[in-house]
Amino acid sequence: MGTSLGNNDSAAVYELTFSNGAWHYNLLYDYGRFGEDSTADLVMDSAGNIYGADAITGDGYIFKLTRSGDSWTFSRLHSFTGPDGAGASGQIVIDSAGNLYGTTSVGGAYGYGVIWEITP
């Protein structure tokens, strides 16, 4: 899994698989909005849901992609507001209870970022 520019210079989540001696590209989700950018690595839980972050839109947000048949459903889990962090970056981590953890590069009480947690 990874992120890149999708159609119309919007960000996209994709899957690369290797079979028969070649790599195959599969678009999982295209944000469909110009300027979206994910700077946090994607992570998948045991149920197959994908989590990531957008660090560009406003102060950024954490998102979840849930498989729905042959497509994926996008949902925002948390939108940062500045005082609670901004500019999500780095690796998102999931623990055995399904809690998500990560960091932001700016925002928070002193403007140097925060360590965040989202519980299911």
Q: Tens of pLDDT along 38-90?
A: 556 789 999 999 998 887 767 888 999 998 888 888 899 999 999 999 988 88
* Helix intervals (H) in the chain: none
CA 55 vs CA 2, 15, 25, 62, 91: distances in Å: 15, 21, 24, 9, 13
- Segments forming the whole domain that contains residue 85: 37-118
pTM above 0.75, yes or no: yes
How far apart (Å, rounded) are the C-alpha atoms in residues 105 and 116?
Answer: 11
Domain count, the chain: 1
User: Does some domain include residue 83?
Assistant: yes
Which tokens is 8 given? 């119309």
Is it the case that residue 14 has pLDDT exceeding 80?
Answer: no
Q: Is position 28 within any domain?
A: no
